[in-house]
Amino acid sequence: MDDKTRIEIEAAAFRTLRQHLMEKRADVQNIDLMNLAGFCRNCLARWYQEAASERGVAMTKDEAREIYYGMPYDDWKASHQTEADAAKQAAFEVAFRENVGPKEG
């Protein structure tokens, strides 16, 4: 397989994953994704931002999230996210540290 075809297939798979998480399974909470899989929708937006930066495209975290979510992140949270209990929050702290790194600030 040539590189162009591989990149097109990878991009199509990413678009399908995004559609699945945003449309078909919007009910799945980011905290549950992070706790179970070590990544969430915010990670996908961050990876998008990092890929843009590697190619010289300046993009803020909020801009990347709006591109990924298709709306401002606060709007997504208000519509789809629920409050996590203490056990999920504690598991998230561990999952975040292990998969993303220490929290900033």
Indicate whether 60 belongs to any domain. Answer: yes
Give the tens place of pLDDT for each residue, 2-16: 999 999 999 999 999
pTM: predicted TM-score of the whole model, two decimal places: 0.84
Indicate whether 104 belongs to any domain. Answer: no
The CA angle 12-16-22, to the nearest 5 degrees, is: 140
DSSP state letter for 104: P
Count the domains in the chain.
Answer: 1
CATH code of the domain in which 58 resides = 1.10.3340.10
- End-to-end CA distance of the chain, in Å? 44
Indicate whether 15 belongs to any domain. Answer: no
Which residue pairs, CB below 8 angstroms and at least 24 apart, start in 45-54? 45/69
Region 78-82: mean pLDDT is 93
Give the tens place of pLDDT for each residue, 21-73: 999 999 999 999 999 999 999 999 999 999 999 999 999 999 999 999 999 99
